[in-house]
């Protein structure tokens, strides 16, 4: 049986890039950026007016001039036509380019305009006041966005500003999702007293969707070895196969035997964690990877979060996965020498982690309202109140 850390190392060794492609900017949401993005020019590309106001030469102010002739109005996107002479100014709008030589702006609220002249109600100025200077945000050829990085709304906005219309991203892997169990039925079908609904199929589809991955193959199969073998022969054609259920040590847990029949090389089977101990991970002869996750809802979520997503991060070329750390609101004890995972919520007023109450890994509401999955290390018996612990954000 592998430890949690050794199992992760095996996943890191198995991970490799899915390759790269370009997508249109409007299709880049949640895709993983594959190439560093550099600035095509300075930003701002010119000295930009940060306020509606009046732009003039600071040296005129230092000479004692307090009344200025307005020679031109400059709007955003327009180029000035007249050059300033001594004692002259431009009326300028926010976002407009400040002509060479103008190096101070007094905002409109501090000005008194009469006919073609303007005076001001302020006594002190600073050079480049209310002017965003060329290149102060980003210099030309500077790396603005480092890859890999998920393309969220903020990043996409920056890409658009940089003129990136086609975004280099990592190719999404083809994925199969196979849920198992003779007692499991789809949510829209009639259910008997001794059956349960297939929540994990929808959990897995939703978790994959956060990576913009839509399963290419998705089905449910009963606990029958020949049926499982037939379904998995088709499922394993994809890059990643996620199987849920049938991986423990019960009489109807056929997944390990079927994997052997199909020539799958087992990377590890069973990890010293709770919940999720029975997890099996293997590789096909064609380089695909199989994650056989336990069937209980919390076990399914935990093993996807800490193993499947770990593999995705490495395959998308992340050097390190961000794991968060916050103090605990209360203490937590354990008796096992396993690494334990438990659902937590971030307290809204003080930011500490609160444990959620649940009745074991089969509890369908165990993670309802959870902000993350916290880690109780194998070698720590008690997490004391106020001590900081690591957790995976959901």
SS3 category, 243: strand
Quick one: pLDDT at residue 251? Answer: 65
Cα distance between residue 50 and residue 190, in whole Å: 64
Q: Provide the β-strand partners of residue 54.
A: 91, 106
Query: What integer pLDDT is reported at residue 105 of this predicted model?
Result: 98
- Residue 54 and residue 74 in contact, taking contact as beta carbons nearer than 8 Å: no
pLDDT of residue 248: 78
**Would you list the DSSP string of 138-198?**
B-TT-EEEPSSEE--HHHHHHHHHTT--EEEEEPPPPEEEEEE-TTEE-TTS---TT-EE-
Tens place of pLDDT per residue across the chain (394 aa) = 999 999 999 999 999 999 999 999 999 999 999 999 999 999 999 999 999 999 999 999 999 999 999 999 999 999 999 999 999 999 999 999 999 999 999 999 999 999 999 999 999 999 999 999 999 999 999 999 999 999 999 999 999 999 999 999 999 999 999 999 999 999 999 999 999 999 999 999 999 999 999 999 999 999 999 999 999 999 999 999 999 998 976 666 899 999 999 999 999 999 999 999 999 999 999 999 999 999 999 999 999 999 999 999 999 999 999 999 999 999 999 999 999 999 999 999 999 999 999 999 999 999 999 999 999 999 999 999 999 999 999 9
Pinpoint the residues of the chain covered by CATH 2.40.340.10: 324-393
In the chain, which residues fall in CATH 3.90.105.10?
20-41+145-170
Residue intervals in the chain for CATH 2.170.190.11:
48-132
**Global pTM exceeds 0.85:** yes
Q: What pLDDT score was predicted for residue 253?
A: 82
Nearest C-alpha neighbor of 90 from the set 116, 109, 71: 71
Query: 4-17+172-315 maps to which CATH number?
Result: 3.40.980.10
Fold of 48-132: Molybdopterin biosynthesis moeA protein; domain 3 (2.170.190)
- Class of the 20-41+145-170 domain? alpha beta
Predicted local distance difference test score (pLDDT) of residue 8: 98
Give Rg (Cα) of the chain.
Answer: 30
**Which of 5, 38, 6, 16 lies closest to 283 in space, CA to CA?**
16
Enter the DSSP assignment of 378.
T
**CA distances for 261 relative to 37, 109, 242, angstroms:** 46, 80, 17
CATH topology of domain 324-393: Beta-clip (2.40.340)
């Amino acid at each position: 049986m592998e430890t949690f850390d050794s199992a992760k190392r095996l996943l890191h060794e198995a991970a490799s890039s899915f390759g790269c492609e370009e997508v249109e900017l409007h299709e880049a949401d949640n895709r993983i950026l594959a190439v560093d993005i550099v600035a095509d020019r300075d930003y701002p590309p010119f000295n930009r007016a940060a306020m509606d106001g009046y732009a003039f030469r600071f040296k005129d102010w230092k000479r004692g001039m307090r009344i200025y002739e307005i020679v031109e109005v400059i709007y955003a996107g327009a180029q000035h036509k007249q050059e300033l002479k001594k004692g002259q100014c431009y009326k300028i709008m926010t976002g407009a380019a400040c002509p060479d030589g103008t190096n101070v702006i007094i905002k409109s609220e501090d000005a008194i305009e009469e006919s073609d002249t303007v005076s001001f109600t302020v006594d002190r100025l600073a050079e480049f006041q209310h002017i965003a200077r060329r290149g102060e945000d980003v210099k030309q050829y500077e790396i603005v966005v480092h890859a890999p990085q998920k393309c969220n709304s903020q990043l996409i906005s920056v890409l658009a500003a940089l003129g990136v219309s086609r975004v280099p991203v990592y190719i999404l892997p083809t994925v199969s999702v196979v849920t198992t169990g003779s007692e499991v039925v789809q949510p829209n079908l009639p259910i008997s007293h001794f059956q349960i609904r297939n929540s994990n199929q929808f959990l897995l589809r939703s978790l994959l969707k956060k990576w913009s991955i839509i399963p290419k193959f998705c089905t449910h199969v009963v606990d029958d070895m020949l049926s499982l073998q037939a379904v998995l022969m088709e499922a394993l054609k994809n890059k990643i196969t996620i199987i849920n259920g049938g991986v423990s040590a019960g009489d109807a847990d056929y997944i390990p035997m079927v994997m052997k029949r199909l020539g799958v090389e087992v990377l590890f089977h069973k990890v010293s964690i709770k919940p999720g101990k029975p997890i099996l991970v293997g590789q096909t002869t064609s380089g695909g990877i199989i994650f056989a996750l336990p069937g209980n809802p919390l076990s399914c979520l935990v093993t996807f979060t800490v193993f499947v997503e770990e593999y995705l991060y490495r395959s998308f070329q992340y050097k390190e996965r961000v794991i968060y750390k916050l103090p605990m609101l209360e203490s937590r004890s354990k008796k096992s020498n396993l690494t334990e995972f438990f659902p937590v919520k971030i307290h809204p007023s003080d930011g500490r982690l609160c444990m959620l109450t649940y009745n074991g890994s089969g509890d369908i509401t165990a993670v309802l309202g959870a902000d993350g999955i916290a880690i109780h290390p194998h070698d720590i018996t008690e997490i004391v109140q106020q001590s900081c612990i690591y957790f995976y954000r959901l």
